Structure 1
Amino acid sequence: MKAFFSRLAKLIPQGKFGAKILLLANANILAQGLGLVFIPLLARLYDPADFGVLAAYTALISILAVGVAGRYDIAIPLASKEQEAINLAGLSLAIVIGFSLLSGVLILIWGHLFASVLNLPQLAHYLWLLPLGLLLSGVQQIFTSWSAYRHNFQALARVRVAQVLGQGVLQVILNSFGAVGLLLGFVLSRLAGSVALFRDIISRFSQISPSSWGRLAYNHRVFPVFNMWAALIDSIGLQMVPLLFAKLFSADVTGFYGLAMRVVGLPGFLVGQAVGQVFYPEASRQRGKPEAVAKLVASSATALLKLGGPIFGLLFLCGPMLFSFVFGAQWREAGEYARYLSLWLLLNFISSPLSSFVLVADKQRAALFFTIYEIMLRLLAVWGGAAMEDPKLSVILYALAGVVISAVYIGWVFRLAKVNSWHWLKTNASYIGSLLLLMAALLGFSFLVSEVAFVAIAFLGMGLLMVISWPSLRRNLDV
């Protein structure tokens, strides 16, 4: 696998923003292509309730992992010298280990009570995996930031493929154990990043100086004091939904939502995350050059729009049919959820990679207050649907809240980067209009042909739009 990515890197022009994104995106596509092979099989090996337990567990991991390193791992790509970066990694690792041990003690004391509050008593049997999951997720985050600092995107690519392949294989092999098989596959697949990080740290052991950690912690205190709480609140707003669904509805509903988010979230993982991991160190390098930063932000947003438009448009048009065909008729409702979520996730696909510019612009304090409003809006949306005892209404209201949040956030990042929002919209108006007209035309076909034919026509139409827009998309990445 290492040789494969080395050869791939040689085929890509080095030193360009788009080339680095392409390397990670190709790795993500390969990884998730492998992952997609497993999802239909897993959907038939496990019940919706098992996926509900997985969704609740991964939501807990995602929330707690935000602060597991005190956010000092996020400061690594901003380090001016390698010695500072490696010691930030060491400081982060020490915090991760301490946090994971503390979570183990708390689970031992209050684990059953916590599972009961969530209305998922079966989760109590698996909470012993939470400290291990936090440890490995925290180490993975440190590895990601360290690799971004060193511009070692080949290592990130290799680890990503190994993780997805390992998770899928383990979950298939362990299916006889029920929900625990899904959880173990998720947790143990994170070992690849841990091994890679420890190998790098050991090779630079002479540069590690624990006596410097106190000074580094103080110099970068803005990350745990402001950024961590903003990120934690944002994560709660996103990840509390499966936990609330488990509490307010049922494990089956939680499973439908969990699978929908896993599939609809793939484009963000495939490409959006790759853009974000390259964008952050690049934006940090360009700070102090207003014109270069504005061009980087605007071009990245345009590229993400043109990449995401056909993908999320297709999910809006064909979500229920695709889920029913691929995963089985029992998962059609998950496809409905995917349809409702598609518009928000398109805007989130654009805003999420650009969000790291807030760190570059040193606006963590403002981000904290922005995130408080986000979580209030998200949770009110879910509770609104729960008050009507309608999980679909909860998903729709949650998606609408996400549309508002992401649109406002994109506008804020543009303002920080001195990008004219109206000029950006006018520049992309023809593309947006073409996308909407194509979707309207395809919807007309849905009343005239069978579901299978409609899916084929929708794939053809959105694929054609992607091909037509590809030359301009490449120009946007070549910054």
Structure 2
Amino acid sequence: MKPIIGILLRKSFVRNVVLMITGTASAQLVSLVLTPVISRIYGPEAYGLMGVFISIIGILSPIASLTYPIAIVLPKTDNDAIGLIRLSLLISTSIATFVVIQLTLFNQQIAEIFHIEDLASFLYLIPLVIFFAGLYQVVEQWLIRTKQFKVTAKVTFLQSLIVQGSKVGIGFMYPFPSILIVLTAFSQALRAVLMIIFSDKKNLNNHLSNQSSIKDLAKKYKDFPIYRGPQSFLNSVSENIPILMLTSFFGPASVGFYTICRTVLAIPTQLIGKSLGDVFYPRISEAANNGEDLGNLNKKATNILISIGVVPFGLVILFGPGLFEFVFGEEWLIAGKYARWIALWSFSTFILQPSIRALPVLNAQALHLKYTGFSLLIRSCALAFGYYAFSSDLIAIALFGVLSGILNIVLIIVTFRISKKRSDVLVSTKS
């Protein structure tokens, strides 16, 4: 067994995945240990307000740089990658400035339109969140491109320790929703700064004096803002729509149950799914350039995630209410009932990670945009139907979870077919 493990670890792909998982596992362990403490300090309503704020920044953050940072991994030359970094930071700064102006003029009106009056004073944090989200995306993608996975793993752990530890330490003295909101707002800023501090900047400095034209790069990778940008925005709305609709339909306590449920169920995706996906992205990009079998590569990565995810998500589906009551306290029993249904969606999201990374390489971002728009419509209708037809938050969540899971499975199947067609074309071209 030991020689086999040694052989596997000598493979760069496996080694990098293990490295990413180790860092993320350490971070998630911190969250697992401290979340039960945090949930008892603040309670469902405080979690609910934090959840609403997370949904707002969750919708805006992915488009902070119009998704140009995702393209940083793709160019063959580092000069083009550096140019994309400059372009991304310019865009995020411009968007943040625009948001500052809008909030200065219309802060109260915006809060009233979206029924978030309790968060009106915190909306001024959003421009900072947008800028630092852009900075984080740029640094993260550069580290992926240069395969500095050790830095990413270290920072993931440190950020979790600092942020979660602060929620506990400050919460004992000031157990207010504002503490959760402020720490959430600056979590990405902390992560970006730590990544910059620990990264190897030698390779970056070598290319700063020889940069590609921003204008040319903006045109060359225009499919990202045209397709991936709207897709990311719609996907963020789709993922956060339960919070916004639950706030309107059932109140902050219901949002609190949903928020802690999603936080816990996202752990396997953050721990393994995203780690594998981040390493898989440059691997499948190289495979496409080398004419390898993309369909087989995608299936292998997906099958690995299926075999890993069955156990943790299966346990939540079977024993969710009891588990949540035991771990977080009696007042979180309803969150466990939510979790049974959200686990179906979370499991499908977990195994979807390789397909999501494959879509830009397969030039299928237009398809991804259409899928996300359709998904948003179906999910919103599911929540609305649960409210208007049954007046039940649990039924609304159940419909949302089941339909979301089915939609993700459909996207995986479609991606497999596109990968196979791409590989068949490459084979016929060679022959």
Q: What is the TM-score of this pair, normalised by structure 1?
A: 0.81
CA distance in 1: counterparts of 2:341 and 2:331, whole angstroms = 18
Amino acid at match of 1:185: L
Q: Which moved more, 1:303-312 or 1:162-171?
A: 162-171
Q: Which moved more, 1:133-142 or 1:18-27?
A: 133-142
Partner secondary structure for residue 126 of structure 1: helix
Query: Deviation of residue 81 (structure 1)?
Result: 1.0
Partner of 2:229: 228
Give the alignment of 1:40-439 within 5 angstroms. 40-175=36-171, 176=174, 178-196=176-194, 198=196, 200=201, 204=205, 207=208, 212-288=213-289, 291-387=292-388, 388-418=390-420
CA pair 90-406 structure 1, distance change in 2 beyond 3 A = same
Aligned 8 A contact 1:344 1:402 in 2: yes
Partner secondary structure for residue 363 of structure 2: coil
Deviations 1:134-185 (A, max 9, x none): 2222221111111110011011101111111111022123321511111122
CA distance in 1: counterparts of 2:285 and 2:108, whole angstroms = 45
CA pair 253-106 structure 1, distance change in 2 beyond 3 A = same
Aligned 8 A contact 1:312 1:342 in 2: yes
Query: Deviation of residue 111 (structure 1)?
Result: 2.5
Aligned 8 A contact 1:297 1:354 in 2: yes
Amino acid at match of 1:250: G
Aligned 8 A contact 1:140 1:190 in 2: yes
Deviations 1:334-371 (A, max 9, x none): 11111111122111111133212110011112221122
Aligned 8 A contact 1:170 1:184 in 2: no
CA distance in 2: counterparts of 1:12 and 1:358, whole angstroms = 27
CA distance in 2: counterparts of 1:265 and 1:401, whole angstroms = 18
Q: Which moved more, 1:112-121 or 1:28-37?
A: 112-121
Amino acid at match of 2:46: D
For structure 2, the residue ranges without an aligned partner over 5 or more in a row are 1-5, 422-431
Report % sequence identity. Answer: 26
CA distance in 1: counterparts of 2:53 and 2:7, whole angstroms = 40
CA distance in 2: counterparts of 1:165 and 1:323, whole angstroms = 23
CA distance in 1: counterparts of 2:386 and 2:277, whole angstroms = 33
CA distance in 1: counterparts of 2:327 and 2:224, whole angstroms = 42
CA distance in 2: counterparts of 1:127 and 1:366, whole angstroms = 33
CA pair 399-154 structure 1, distance change in 2 beyond 3 A = same
CA distance in 2: counterparts of 1:174 and 1:109, whole angstroms = 33
Partner secondary structure for residue 341 of structure 1: helix
How much is the aligned-residue C-alpha RMSD, in angstroms? 2.2
Query: Deviation of residue 244 (structure 1)?
Result: 1.2
Deviations 1:208-263 (A, max 9, x none): 56771111111111110111111211111111210111112101101110110000
CA distance in 2: counterparts of 1:67 and 1:391, whole angstroms = 30
Aligned 8 A contact 1:120 1:251 in 2: no
CA pair 301-290 structure 1, distance change in 2 beyond 3 A = farther
Would you identify which runs of 4 or more consecutive aligned residues in structure 1 move more than 4 Å? 196-199, 208-211, 288-291
Q: What is the TM-score of this pair, normalised by structure 2?
A: 0.90
Amino acid at match of 2:392: D
Amino acid at match of 1:190: Q
For structure 1, the residue ranges without an aligned partner over 5 or more in a row are 1-9, 420-479
Deviations 1:6-65 (A, max 9, x none): xxxx99834432221111111111111011111011101102111111111111111111
CA distance in 1: counterparts of 2:209 and 2:112, whole angstroms = 44
Q: Which moved more, 1:102-111 or 1:71-80?
A: 102-111
Count of aligned pairs: 411
CA pair 246-205 structure 1, distance change in 2 beyond 3 A = farther
